[in-house]
Amino acid sequence: MHVMILGGAGMVGRKLAERIAAEGGLGGKPVEHLSLIDVIAPATPHGFIGTTDCTAADLSVPGTAAEVLTTRPDIIFHLAAIVSGEAEMDLEKGYRVNLDGMRFLLDAIRAEQAANGPWKPRVVFSSSIAVFGGDMPDVIDDAYFLTPGTSYGTQKAMCELLLADYARRGFIDGIGLRLPTVCVRPGKPNLAASGFFSNIIREPLVGLPAVLPVSDKVQHWMASPRATIGFLVHAAGLDTALLRGRTSLSMPGLSVTVAEQIAGLEKVAGPKAVALIKREPDDRIIRIVDTWARGFDTSRAAALGFVAETAFEQIVRVHVEDELGGKIPVLG
Amino acid sequence: MHVMILGGAGMVGRKLAERIAAEGGLGGKPVEHLSLIDVIAPATPHGFIGTTDCTAADLSVPGTAAEVLTTRPDIIFHLAAIVSGEAEMDLEKGYRVNLDGMRFLLDAIRAEQAANGPWKPRVVFSSSIAVFGGDMPDVIDDAYFLTPGTSYGTQKAMCELLLADYARRGFIDGIGLRLPTVCVRPGKPNLAASGFFSNIIREPLVGLPAVLPVSDKVQHWMASPRATIGFLVHAAGLDTALLRGRTSLSMPGLSVTVAEQIAGLEKVAGPKAVALIKREPDDRIIRIVDTWARGFDTSRAAALGFVAETAFEQIVRVHVEDELGGKIPVLG
């Protein structure tokens, strides 16, 4: 198979490429060729037995998608997007990258079909729980209406609709996954409003302080990077007829409070790690987080075989295994 | 006030302009100027005391919306769209007219604000119950997710999301109305799959035969042209803060079976009219109609003051009053 990852330089894209490289395939099927594309050239994953090409290309520029797709990948992971904060600050850029990028991709697939004959790639689109916002029930099921509270969420919701329409019309074999907040996100602390969910775990585990800007009672929906990559891999191999035209669905995750996160950290790394968390309430972040979804009924995703962690302690241990080589620098 | 109607040459646009002309205003507020815009120049409504300009302009062409909006209307009714059948046949045209047209409009409002200072028009957008499709409950409430079964419905759903985002960001004062199927639609029989709902009433009332291509048991959601214009007029004057960020809503209507339609016709015009209905089942139309919504819970719209007919007989009588001068050529 030929697998293409759009947004291959991002955290999820990199981890997905590494997983494909490590397994030499996707869902048991061998992958001979990997195309990694992003606005900056992605890195070649370590130890991949097949061929890789890493390309710097901006899919929000008309014509780029058409060039890239002449290679006719079997599976396209579309993960390319600008994040919520940037889409809110720069309206034009958000709609250009997050919405037009998707439309250019789908229309380039049609154009390639029209020019060079039948080809129907699987398109796995990374949507987000940000398609929900405002007043919401504590548990949101897959028949609940999309009420984005940000431009980012609006663009993801619009892309879900486009994906479903192009799939219905037979141009693609499409599936959209509403990814939970990724926790523990590896790397440095960032300025995203959701960053603290990861910072308060990742930093104390290596003996560094972390700021908690919200109350312990804040509840949120999260999954580990490993589980997130698992969703994408599973989606690539799923029989999409089982979606019965409902192309996008909310992925499983864990609905936890910040207090439960901290308890999980303590179980794995002890009270010394917990003591590194500094409470510094930030009204701006409190207001933003207050508009986010807290929990989902993902029985549909579960029935389709998608799985995530079931306790926060597991999420902490996955981080220790995958990012810290199984060792915890701070203990006791 | 200055009122602009985009799609002013269509049936709904014409009737809205006539209503404003007849009342000299909108929701009790005087209207001094009417701008009517469509791809073909709309007609000036009869008897309007203010000034009217009728312009042929294609809003799906970049730059057109910006030119048109330099006059800064207080209220913009955006009714311009190509219909379901055409959007299904011509994918590019559907997305260009129905989606890009909306985006150009909203971005032209932003550009006008940036260039010439504050101005925040009320934008009343005509969405459609076609945002729902596929497997649906018999009664759809305003928290049910949008599952369009056509490209037209997809485009309307995407426009609802855009409208909400631009309203949330403060560029417009927006409201989207999901209009029921208009019945009895005046004019000639057309080839739209939904045409028969009107044909089987309008044609027999003037002594002409009409074809019924589906079963008597088919159930659908409809409102008269008069009620539809009433929704738009009411939306123009509504306090949009009451929408609490949920910018679009399903309008009231009547959930009736074809059998109930025919019974209503008989009550008003007698069995001779009913005898003009010819049953000619058409599998293509049966399959399309089978994917349409049958009923809605519109308690939210009702609480906001939107009203429609409550019995099909009323819908027939409205047609007789508004289109036939109160007289029924066929009786008995």
Contacts of A101 (CB under 8 A, 6+ apart): A59, A60, A65, A80, A81
Q: Are A145 and B145 in contact (CB under 8 A)?
A: yes
Q: Are B33 and B51 in contact (CB under 8 A)?
A: yes
CATH code for the domain defined by A2-180+225-250 = 3.40.50.720
CA distance B140 to chain A (A): 11
pLDDT band at B266 (very low <50, low <70, confident <90, very high): very high
Q: Averaged over B184-205, what is the pLDDT?
A: 90
What's the pLDDT score for residue A191?
Answer: 67
A15-34 pLDDT per residue, tens: 999 999 999 999 889 999 99
CB atoms within 10 A of CB A48: 18
Question: N- to C-terminal Cα distance for chain A?
Answer: 48
Q: Averaged over A247-270, what is the pLDDT?
A: 97
Q: Is B31 helix (H, G, I), strand (E, B) or coil?
A: coil
Q: Averaged over A301-319, what is the pLDDT?
A: 97
From the list B91, B103, B145, the residue facing A143 with the nearest CB is B145
Q: What is the ipTM of this complex?
A: 0.95
Q: Averaged over A29-41, what is the pLDDT?
A: 97
From the list A110, A142, A245, the residue facing B134 with the nearest CB is A245
**Helix, strand, coil % in chain A, rounded to nearest 5:** 45, 20, 40
Does B152 participate in catalysis according to the annotation? yes
In angstroms, the CA B272 to CA B311 distance is 21
Phi, psi of B243 (to 5 degrees): -75, -15
Phi, psi of A278 (to 5 degrees): -105, 125
What's the pLDDT score for residue B331?
Answer: 63
pLDDT band at B58 (very low <50, low <70, confident <90, very high): very high
Binding-site residues on chain B for chain A (CB distance < 8 A): 91, 95, 103, 110, 134-135, 142-149, 151, 154, 157-158, 161-162, 164-165, 168-169, 244-246
Closest chain A CA to residue B163: A154
**pLDDT greater than 90 at residue B109:** yes
B215-252 pLDDT per residue, tens: 999 999 999 999 999 999 999 999 999 999 999 999 99
Q: Which of A9, A113, A78, A41 is nearest to A236 (CA)?
A: A78
**pLDDT greater than 90 at residue B121:** yes
Tell me the percentage of chain B whose pLDDT exceeds 90: 90
- Does the distance separating the beta carbons of B145 and A145 come in below 8 Å? yes
B224 to each of A45, A99, A178, B183, B320, how far by Cα in Å?
Answer: 62, 36, 40, 5, 11
Q: Which of B305, B322, B304 is nearest to B226 (CA)?
A: B322
Question: N- to C-terminal Cα distance for chain B?
Answer: 48
A108-160 pLDDT per residue, tens: 999 999 999 999 999 999 999 999 998 889 999 989 999 999 999 999 999 99
**pLDDT greater than 70 at residue B265:** yes
- Does the distance separating the beta carbons of B147 and A246 come in below 8 Å? yes
From the list B110, B154, B246, the residue facing A165 with the nearest CB is B154
Contacts of B79 (CB under 8 A, 6+ apart): B5, B6, B7, B8, B10, B12, B13, B16, B126
Tokens for B133, please give them: 């499709």
B191 to each of A198, B81, B156, B280, B315, how far by Cα in Å?
Answer: 57, 17, 21, 15, 22
The domain locations on chain A are: 2-180+225-250
Tokens for A92, please give them: 């034009």
In angstroms, the CA B132 to CA A277 distance is 47
User: How far from the centroid of its chain's Cα atoms is residue A151's Cα?
Assistant: 17
Q: Which residues of A touch B151 (CB under 8 A)?
A: 165, 169
CA distance A287 to chain B (A): 15
- Does the distance separating the beta carbons of A149 and B145 come in below 8 Å? no
From the list B91, B147, B158, the residue facing A158 with the nearest CB is B158
Closest chain B CA to residue A142: B145
Q: Which of B82, B19, B50 is nearest to B233 (CA)?
A: B19
Helix (H) or strand (E) holding A215: none
Q: Which residues of B touch A87 (CB under 8 A)?
A: none
What's the pLDDT score for residue A330?
Answer: 63
CA distance B254 to chain A (A): 23
What's the pLDDT score for residue A332?
Answer: 54
Q: Are B126 and B231 in contact (CB under 8 A)?
A: no
The catalytically annotated residue of B95, B144, B152, B166 is B152
Mean pLDDT over all residues of chain A?
Answer: 95
**pLDDT greater than 90 at residue B97:** yes
**pLDDT greater than 60 at residue B332:** no
Contacts of B172 (CB under 8 A, 6+ apart): B106, B109, B120, B121, B122, B123, B163, B166
CA distance A272 to chain B (A): 44
What's the pLDDT score for residue A256?
Answer: 97
In angstroms, the CA B104 to CA A45 distance is 42
Q: Averaged over A148-177, what is the pLDDT?
A: 97
From the list A148, A161, A246, the residue facing B154 with the nearest CB is A161
A74-120 pLDDT per residue, tens: 999 999 999 888 999 999 999 999 999 999 999 999 999 999 999 99
Exposed e or buried b for every residue in A119-138, given b needs 16+ CB within 10 A? Answer: eebbbbbbbbbbbbbeebee
CA distance A240 to chain B (A): 16
CA distance B316 to chain A (A): 34
The catalytically annotated residue of A95, A144, A152, A166 is A152
Q: Is B303 helix (H, G, I), strand (E, B) or coil?
A: helix
In angstroms, the CA B18 to CA B24 distance is 10
Exposed e or buried b for every residue in B38-48, given b needs 16+ CB within 10 A? Answer: bbeebeebeeb
Name the CA dihedral angle for B313, B318, B324, B329, rounded to a multiple of 10 degrees: 10
B137-181 pLDDT per residue, tens: 999 998 999 999 999 999 999 999 999 999 999 999 999 999 999
Q: Averaged over A282-298, what is the pLDDT?
A: 91
Residue type, A306: F
- Does the distance separating the beta carbons of A157 and B164 come in below 8 Å? no
**pLDDT greater than 90 at residue B304:** yes
- Does the distance separating the beta carbons of B161 and A246 come in below 8 Å? no
Is B284 buried (19+), middle (13-18) or exposed (0-12) by CB count in 10 A? exposed
Q: Which residues of A touch B134 (CB under 8 A)?
A: 244-246
Contacts of A225 (CB under 8 A, 6+ apart): A11, A12, A15, A182, A184, A185, A186, A318, A322
What's the pLDDT score for residue B189?
Answer: 77
A178-219 pLDDT per residue, tens: 999 999 999 887 767 889 999 999 999 999 999 999 999 999
DSSP 8-state symbol, A96: I
In angstroms, the CA B323 to CA B331 distance is 16
From the list B143, B148, B245, the residue facing A145 with the nearest CB is B143
Between 1.10.1740.10, 3.40.50.720, 3.40.50.150, 3.20.20.70, what CATH number should domain B2-179+224-250 receive? 3.40.50.720
Q: Which residues of B touch A134 (CB under 8 A)?
A: 244-246
Q: Which residues of B touch A297 (CB under 8 A)?
A: none
